[in-house]
Amino acid sequence: MTTRRCRSRRRLILGAAGSLALLALPTRSGAQSNYPDHPIQLIVPYGAGGAVDILARSIGELMGMQLGKPIVVQNRPGAGSNIGSQLVARAAPDGYTLLMASPANAINQYLYPKMPYDVFKDLEPVGLAAQIPIVLVAAPSVTATTVADVIKRGKDRKNPITVASGGSGSTEHLAAELFKMHTGIEFTHVPYQGGAAAFPDLMSGRVQFMFTNLLGVLPLIRGGKLKVIAVADDIRSPLIPDVPTLSESGVQGMNVSVWYGFMAPKGVPGAVVQRLNDAMRKALSDPALKDRLQQSGARILAKSPKDFAVFLKAESTRWGDVIRTAHIKLE
């Protein structure tokens, strides 16, 4: 009898101890409710000081204030953004490592034969933050002033036009190829090591035209050093309100922008993704940040994870078609 009582008592004690141990373990829902409990790392897959870096730091600082923990920007440039993007794709899906995504994340799979990550299988959309429209600019010496003029010049096979870009496969290059597909023009592509590297030759007239983002070229337009012909969008930019869009000029389907969004490793809990998206939206509603972004030519989007996923798929499909049609290869 005594032995039986001892066994029952032992089972009771062991069962209670096991229950306490389970209660002590951090649950998935508990970890989510405490998120974040330490700083978040935001990977920018480009060098410090560029447009992506500046935007990431500006938005990230305000997001950190919303979340109660700082967002620390880490620059991991290289391989057309693949190095930094791969780092995030392989990180733990806990919401503490984020990526500042850009068009390269939708484009690179068609340019690199061996991609170190899959943007759809390895990364999770958190939110689409903003976009900067692409504009068509020309050297001051070029006589063309309208889209119709450019198309006419581009169809003159005796005097082929030259179009600069920030490199083969860049957004600038793809925009030019898309314009070619829509209008039937021909041009000689002149790639540079980055968009800014093309500006001196463009200003001097050594190359004639370029599709480039408004942020980088706005001071040159205002200074009269470059001529702006059209905005690659359906909506005019408030910074250059007198400049028509390509749609107004008769070229449809040319909505091209440099966009920026936040992504996380695939598998981050939905509640954490939503928390991050809420923080991004609140950050982008800050009056000072809104004014700063709009003055740089950016349009605030503040899209949901679902909307970003749809947008990313559409971007990837469109640019994949352009790359295959134009037979674009990295140089």
Structure confidence at residue 32 as a pLDDT band (50, 70, 90): low
DSSP 245: B
Per-residue pLDDT at 260 exceeds 70: yes
pLDDT at 225: 98
pLDDT in tens, 310-331: 999 999 999 999 999 999 998 7
Cα separation, 27 vs 20, whole angstroms: 13
Is residue 94 classed as helix, strand or coil in its secondary structure?
A: coil
pLDDT at 31: 53
> What is the rounded average pLDDT of the residues 116-130?
98
pLDDT at 50: 85
* Contact assessment for residue 85 and residue 105, using Cβ atoms and an 8 Å cutoff: yes
pLDDT at 158: 87
pLDDT in tens, 262-296: 999 999 999 999 999 999 999 999 999 999 999 98
As given in the structure block, the two tokens for residue 318 are: 């469109």
Q: What is the DSSP string of 271-320?
A: HHHHHHHHHHHHHHT-HHHHHHHHHTT-EE----HHHHHHHHHHHHHHHH
Domains defined along the chain, listed by start: 40-131+258-326 (3.40.190.150), 133-249 (3.40.190.10)
Per-residue pLDDT at 30 exceeds 60: no
> What is the rounded average pLDDT of the residues 105-124?
97
Task: Answer whether 0.85 is exceeded by the pTM.
Answer: yes
pLDDT at 11: 52
Q: Return all residues near 146 (Cβ < 8 A) that are at least 6 apart.
A: 229, 249
Per-residue pLDDT at 246 exceeds 60: yes
